[in-house]
Copies of this chain bind each other. A is one copy, B any other.
C-alpha cells in the first residue's frame, strides 16, 4: 500500500498552481504537506549574490519537502516551474497519524528510506566523470538495457548530461556494442 493511498483518508484538497506561482515561501507556517500530482515544483533557496540553489525537483508522484512535516515554518521557497497540481494534506493530520498509527509511521519511514536510497544512487552516478560511466551505472540499476525512446531527454537530465551527449554515447554503442570502454 503506497503512501499516496495511506494519505487519501485524510481528505486532501486539490490545489493548482500556474507556472511561476509559489506553493509557499520561506518563513510561512507549515500547514499542509504537498503531494505533486502533475507538473513540477522546485524547492529553492535564494543566495546572497542573487543566485538560486535548487534543493529538490519534485515531479509527478513525489512528496514535497518531507522534512517540513517536522518543522513549524518553511526554511525555503517552493515554486512551480510549470503548471502544477498537488494534493495538500493537513500537516496536523499527518503528525497525528504518525503518532497514532504505527502502520502509517512504517510506511512513511519506508518511503523516506527508499527515496534516500534512490537519491544516494543518483549522487553517486553524478559523481562519475564521463557520460559512458554514468550511463553504465544507470543501466546497471534500471535493468540493463538502453533507455527507451521517449524517455531519453529525461534520463539525460537525471544523470546530469546534455541530451546531445547521451545521444552520442548511445550511437557509439549501437554501432559496436562490445567495447563499453
Contacts and interface: CB of A to CB of B under 8 A. Distances in A.
Contacts of A98: 102, 105-106, 109
Interface stretch (A7-15, A24-32, A85-93, A123-131): A123-131
A167 to B, nearest CB: 18
30 contacts: A47-B136, A47-B140, A49-B136, A51-B136, A53-B140, A53-B141, A54-B124, A55-B117, A56-B120, A56-B124, A66-B113, A67-B113, A67-B114, A67-B117, A69-B109, A69-B113, A70-B106, A70-B109, A98-B105, A98-B109, A100-B102, A102-B102, A105-B109, A109-B109, A112-B116, A116-B116, A116-B119, A123-B123, A126-B126, A126-B160
A53 B116 contact: no
Contacts of A141: 45, 53
Given A54-B124, A99-B102, A45 B140 contact: yes
Number of copies: 2
Interface residues of A, number: 44
B105 A70 contact: no
Contacts of A99: 102, 106
Q: For chain A, what secondary structure do more than half of its interface residues adopt (helix, strand, loop), or is it mixed?
A: helix
A60 interface: no
A17 interface: no
Interface of A: 45, 47-49, 51, 53-57, 66-67, 69-70, 98-100, 102, 105-106, 108-110, 112-117, 119-124, 126-127, 136-137, 140-141, 144, 160, 180
